[in-house]
Structure 1
Amino acid sequence: MSDQKTDRRIIRTKRMIRDALTDLMEEKGLEGFTVKDLTEKADINRGTFYLHYQDKYDLLEKSENEIIEEMYEFLKEINPDLINQSGLQNEPLPFLVNLFENIEKNARFMKLILGPKGDPAFQVKLKQFMKINFLGKIMEKSNNESLSVPIEQLIAYVTSAHLGVIQQWLNSGMQQSPREMALTLLKITFYGPAHIAGIKKDLNF
């Protein structure tokens, strides 16, 4: 029980520090504040901060990695066959619903880190994560020889599109529910933007 209390205390402390980081980055940008500012904002002493992080850059990187690790927990159960089945049934995939719920839980930090005052390197890291853990698993089921475009360009297009959908949702105040967003992303992925936009004319390349 004591270990559980300690773990909860550590989680709560880290959340307070991340919230303080989010506040200060929104106000001043990463270069505009010090560790002292962080500890005052989070109402902790410097010793507590340095138990967990080396400096504010280490805090930012570890906070980003924690977000990605949480996402991995939802994406590691991907079954490519279920994606096709869900698309046909017009039902959102549970792992995508969970993914958007996680983004919603971390909305302030995610909106910040993906925005103009955030970390451009995080977008690269997130796209690479999506490429390996989401699209990589789906593409295992595909026949690369039958693709009409180079696979790397297809992956680049889809990862950028998915990230854009997430950013738009965050920036618009998350008016749709995680379930609605999971279904939207599934439809775009399954049917493609031309079909979704109602373009009926067949295109032959």
Structure 2
Amino acid sequence: MKLLRGVEMANDKRAAQTEHKIEEALTVLINQKGFNNISVTDITREAKISRGTFYIHYLDKVDLLNHVEDNLLQKLQKILEEVIPRAIEQQRDGAWEVPYKAVISTLNQFLVDRELIIALLSTRGDPAFLTRVKDLFSQEIHRDINSYQGTISYDNNIPPDYIEEIVLNALMGIVLHWLSKDQPESPDEVAQIIMYYCETAPKEWITID
């Protein structure tokens, strides 16, 4: 049993390494040619693997794209599920230490996948990916607002859906601007910018009791 488990672990490691090489190749090729102009042959040449190896992991280049995007969104969702409920509670209590640490954790994950994310969000990548990211943020925010046990009040001068859209676009704009810079600031510095925004602008429109 131990030998079998060891073989399975080795196979899993090799599979993960191969998928990482394919993802790196995809990133390079999106930047060079654009996703629509990439072929499976291009990917296998860049990754230095056989076509047979590629098809063990993916059906085609669209399946690869979906797999890559799904993985990124799953990582983001896991972090948001921890960050948003705590952020709501901490804003109510006026203490920001926990959300601040969670924001840094989120930004560190973005930084790890920075080149891939920027490629996907570029004009040569997948135009639908930004919408998927935004939809995930919106979905998690709405879920946690709806499950919050206290009271959330909005400024009467601006409809709630507009307030949520403004806040969502501002936060995403900060992160995307940061990722797109040639020499981005550290996650700690950007977390401070995000937390300052959360402590100022939204408080003018949203009250949490």
* Common topology (TM > 0.5): yes
Q: TM-score, normalised by structure 2?
A: 0.82
* CA–CA distance in structure 1, aligned partners of residues 14 and 164 of structure 2: 41
Match of 2:12 among 7, 21, 41: 7
Cα distance, 1:3 vs structure 2: 2.3
Contact in 1 for aligned 2:167/2:202 (Cα 8 Å): no
How far 1:145 moved relative to its partner?
Answer: 5.4
Determine whether 1:54 maps to 2:59.
Answer: yes
CA contact 2:90–2:99 (8 Å) conserved in 1 = no
Distance 2:46 2:35 in 1: 14
Partner of 1:203: none
User: Counterpart in 2 of 1:40?
Assistant: 45
Superposed, 1:1-205 pairs within 5 Å as: 1-78=6-83, 79=86, 80-85=88-93, 88=95, 93-134=100-141, 136-138=143-145, 140-141=147-148, 143=151, 146-148=154-156, 149-192=158-201
**What code does the residue aligned with 1:124 have?**
T
How many pairs does the alignment contain? 194
Is the contact between residue 121 and residue 130 of structure 2 (CA under 8 Å) also seen in structure 1?
yes
Task: Return the letter of the residue paired with 2:20.
Answer: R
Contact 2:107–2:191 at 8 Å: present in 1 too?
A: yes
Q: Deviation above 4 Å: which 4+ runs of structure 1?
A: 87-92
- Structure 1 distance, partners of 2:46, 2:154, is 55
TM-score with structure 1 setting the length: 0.83
Q: d(CA) in 2 for partners of 1:114 and 1:84?
A: 34
Provide the aligned C-alpha RMSD in A.
2.4
CA change 1:55–1:89 in 2 (3 A) is closer
Structure 2: 5+ residue stretches without partners: 1-5, 205-209
Change (3 A) 1:82 1:89: closer
Cα deviation digits, residues 158-199 of structure 1 (max 9, x gap): 22222211111011135311122122112212211899xxxx
Instruction: For structure 1, list consecutive stretches of 5 or more residues without a partner in the other structure.
Output: 196-205
Residues in 1 aligned to 2:174 and 2:146: alpha-carbon distance in whole angstroms: 21
